[in-house]
Structure 1
């Protein structure tokens, strides 16, 4: 029987491990051959550190429509690819045929987010990127007779993560598109499925394979050395009656798949990646309900007032909610606000009280209110998204900086934006 004192020491170690390797934390990682990837020689002047300096808070952008194309974000690009009449990647690949689709998608991956984009993000004081990917990035998982996705994406993901790691970015890779689609009729799953087909055992099993494969790469490929979080499924259905096994089977199974891949590589516990489900505020239930443990967990919060009918559609109400709505009220730590924007409901977004050009002062204050609240209550924030072709800075960090609504460094926002609200 162990002593109470010894048990207390073990518990203390586990607690300290559970929150390690987020921005501000040192981390090392070793390849299969024993090479210390953290200390690997890099070109002179290139930052290869696995931790982030300055505030220690995550300040980032999503690389929307890079590897999981959402046509509404970039309709011109989508049309130029020959996909204009299709609703999703699945549909476009099916329509164009595999060979032609591979050509147009590889050209898209080569040009949508470039090294210049990474440099610009860095110059804007950002320190994190979140990369949405689909399970079809692991091409052996795709059912060749019934599933249609572009091929060749991994090489571009590897290059992107190498650029970001060299620039010192913290990287989150999120399984945005799950096998069978986790929600219906939404291109952000990679397919415009009529119903969510993800919530069955054999699809969970394919997701586990993907997560294990990705984790192995993160721990053995130097380009992925700054990946610290793996999102295990983006925005599942919020009605638990429609998601059988999500909490009881999938979440613990996903956690175990990631840890098993790390165990097979003899990865030390303090070098684990963080396993990230959606948080309880998302509405799909308590993600911790059946987890084997909560070591190296992180939690994803998405906050879009655009779709929250409980908040009055007024500028004052939006500021008030953003200033006072604690996005860590479910006490899941560390929580990261992985998606938010400056967009407002469709029926008012172009009216005089909300259109972007005449209301820049409001949108400047609203951005400041959101991120100051997120940094006060959570581990940070990631804007959706870096760029778009909407001509609307409310969905584009890059355009919002150009418009002067977001400062060219988050440190320069009005940190008193919530005073008196």
Structure 2
């Protein structure tokens, strides 16, 4: 009788959609086999714990170039797919034709991130993955006569989320490629569009349709049970005059589209996911300006010092900024630093003072330590860009940085004195 009751409870929990939550909140997460993944103890190490001991913070990696492939990050992969001459997924699919493109992209999705990668991330004490996706994941949204994107991605997205959920990871899914492209000439939108075509009502409507569909998919597929946050558009233009309607129209409607899906599905408010725009520090304006309801909102902060013209390009200046920059100063909360790296400006990155090697390893080790400690002090945590690359440069690859000894095998073991003297 007791066994039957317990079994019934486990089955009920498995069928229950994900609650809106952040690391450190007290809730139980069950794997498909009924194993309780939340705060599970281990006699030998912490890799089986739902979250890192006593941290309550997001510590994660992006799955960059999985579903929105950026040629600069994975040039060998891009070339092997037959996409070498082309600037973006849109261009490659258009050139290869739909059938051939589907085959090569599905092979990429099948191999770029494997279950072994998820296991390795877990062994490194990470607790979160952020997955960039494009609106074309919802294939019915694509204009078949004028838009060209690979098909079949949803099954692979479900699979990787299933692996991550079974391993106890918190999952953020981010709309990285918006309809029409939110910035021009950038492959991280999925298309090297000559202009940003996103900031029009009909494109906003397509994006909100995608978000409603994504929330419904998350609810209906148990593999997505650990998705707790949806990013509603990645890195929009940093010019409030060009994109005022992003805040006045798209943000409120995106929020409403996700909440409508939850309402239509009968999801109670305590089971909502967090809705996440970029924060004010991104310089696209105050995302809260026109939001009358901010229940279960969250905010995305991206911090690449290499792109900040106000920070002097020196190791001392980078350490000082990393130690003292307060990423919560805009008041947006909860905030997650959804992207950052230890990369440096292109014009100096391979000079003797900055190139990876024995003479700079101590700097990069302490630079990472300073960044993550300040992020954890001021925000709800961080997600590194990215897990892997083909650059041969650990500054853009968490996996390579751990292998090089620059990032410890558990981020809880970074140098606590990294900021001493800065």
Pairwise same-fold verdict (TM > 0.5): yes
Q: In 2, are the aligned partners of 1:299 and 1:334 still within 8 Å (CA)?
A: yes
**Corresponding residue SS for 2:218:** helix
Counterparts of 2:26 and 2:228 in 1: how far apart (Å)? Answer: 11
Task: After superposition, give the CA deviation of every residue in 1:218-246 in whole Å (9 maximum; x if it has no partner).
Answer: 12211000000000000000101111410
Q: Secondary structure at the match of 2:249?
A: helix
Question: Which residue of the partner structure matches residue 42 of structure 1?
Answer: 32
Q: What is the RMSD computed on CA atoms of the aligned residues?
A: 1.6
Map residues 265-344 of structure 1 onto 2, 5 A cutoff. Answer: 265-344=265-344
Q: CA deviation at 1:48?
A: 7.5
Q: Partners of 2:50 and 2:185 in 1: how far apart?
A: 38
Measure how far apart 1:275 and its partner are.
Answer: 0.3
Deviations 1:251-306 (A, max 9, x none): 00000000000000111111100000000000000000001211100000000011
- Cα displacement (A) at 1:27: 4.8
CA distance in 1, matches of 2:118, 2:97: 32
Instruction: Using the TM superposition, give the Cα deviation of residue 420 of structure 1 relative to its aligned residue in structure 2, in angstroms.
Output: 2.4
Contact 1:24–1:51 under 8 Å retained in 2: no
1:162 counterpart SS class: helix
Partners in 2 of 1:221 and 1:176 — Cα distance?
21
User: SS state of the match for residue 165, structure 2?
Assistant: helix
Aligned residue for 2:132, secondary structure, equals: strand
1:220 corresponds to which residue? 220
Q: Secondary structure at the match of 2:61?
A: strand
* Structure 1 position 45, deviation (Å): 5.0
Deviation at 1:136, TM superposition (A): 0.2
Aligned to 1:25: 25
Query: Which 4+ stretches in 1 moved above 4 angstroms?
Result: 48-51
Shift of 1:42: 2.6
The answer to whether the 8 Å contact 1:129/1:171 transfers is yes
Aligned to 2:409: 408
SS at match of 2:241: helix
Any conservation in 2 of the 1:27–1:271 contact (CA below 8 Å)? no
Q: How many angstroms apart in 1 are the aligned matches of 2:223 and 2:184?
A: 34
Alignment CA distance shift 1:184-1:286 (3 Å)? same
C-alpha distance in structure 2 between counterparts of 1:256 and 1:56, whole Å:
29
| Per-residue deviation, residues 352-393 of structure 1 (Å, max 9, x unmatched) | 100011310000000000000000000000000000000000
**What pairs with 1:19-168 in structure 2 (closer than 5 Å)?**
21-27=21-27, 42-43=32-33, 47=37, 52=51, 54=53, 55-168=55-168
Any conservation in 2 of the 1:88–1:191 contact (CA below 8 Å)?
Answer: yes
Q: How does 1:164-183 map to 2 (within 5 A)?
A: 164-183=164-183
1:20 deviates by 5.9
Structure 1 residue runs of 5 or longer lacking an equivalent are 1-18, 29-37
| Cα distance in structure 2, aligned partners of 1:204 and 1:45 | 41
| Distance change (3 Å), C-alpha of 1:27 and 1:225 | farther
Q: How far apart, in 2, do the equivalents of 1:48 and 1:89 lie?
A: 38
**In 2, Cα distance between equivalents of 1:53 and 1:382:** 14
Deviation for aligned residue 1:415? 1.6
Aligned to 2:395: 394
TM-score normalised over the length of structure 2: 0.91
Mapped to 2, the partners of 1:72 and 1:342 lie a distance apart of 17
Mapped contact 1:22–1:51 kept (Cα < 8 A): no
C-alpha change, 1:220 and 1:246, in structure 2 (3 Å) is same
Task: Tell me the secondary structure at the aligned position of residue 193 of structure 2.
Answer: coil
Give 1:373's aligned residue.
Answer: 374
**1:203 corresponds to:** 203
Partner SS state of residue 368, structure 1: helix
Q: Deviations over 1:114-171 (max 9, x none)?
A: 0000000000000000000000000000000000000000000000000000000000
Normalising by structure 1, we get a TM-score of 0.91
Which string of whole-angstrom CA distances, capped at 9 and with x for unpartnered residues, describes residues 159-201 of structure 1? 0000000000000000000000000000000000000000000
Which residue is equivalent to 1:352? 352
What is the CA–CA distance in structure 1 between the aligned matches of 2:133 and 2:264, rounded to whole Å?
24
Contact 1:26–1:51 at 8 Å: present in 2 too? no
Aligned 8 A contact 1:232 1:275 in 2? yes
| Separation in structure 2 between the aligned mates of residue 352 and residue 46 of structure 1, nearest angstrom | 49
Aligned length: 393
